């Protein structure tokens, strides 16, 4: 089997960046629908469809990341957003002792 990067490059050659960006949007929408329904439909017990849609989205995002060479930028944004999330959790923790 070809490497992931080779598959990504072949997909870009075959369908082009516009089509692949459209696919990202489509797959994100499908993931959103599954995420919204997971507890209503099955009380969160069956996560197979969620995992499948997450895999689709991750692959699409990896492909676009590879195409635009965004890894460094993405990692920077993820670090910033993770620090922000940690701050929000810490600052809104009801169990935190008041100083």
**Whether residue 14 has pLDDT greater than 80:** yes
pLDDT at 28 (0 to 100): 98
Query: pLDDT digit string (tens) for 49-69?
Result: 999 999 999 999 999 999 999
Percent of the chain with pLDDT over 70: 95
Q: Answer yes or no: are the C-beta atoms of 20 and 11 closer than 8 Å.
A: yes
pLDDT at 96 (0 to 100): 67
Across the chain, what does the average pLDDT equal? 92
Pairwise CA distance, residues 33 & 37, whole Å: 6
Q: How far, CA to CA in Å, does 62 sit from each of 9, 43, 68, 76, 82?
A: 11, 30, 10, 16, 19
**Whether residue 98 has pLDDT greater than 90:** no
Residue that the structure tokens 């870009």 belong to: 12
């Amino acid at each position: 089997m070809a490497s992931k990067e080779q598959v990504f490059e072949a997909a870009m050659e075959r369908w082009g960046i516009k089509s692949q960006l459209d696919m990202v949007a489509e797959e994100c929408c499908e993931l959103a629908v599954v995420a919204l329904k997971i507890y209503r439909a099955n009380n969160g017990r069956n996560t197979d469809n969620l995992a499948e849609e997450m895999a689709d989205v991750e692959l699409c995002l990896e492909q676009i990341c590879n195409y635009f060479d965004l890894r460094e930028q993405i990692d920077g944004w993820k670090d910033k957003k993770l620090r922000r999330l940690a701050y929000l959790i810490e600052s809104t923790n009801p169990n935190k002792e008041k100083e």
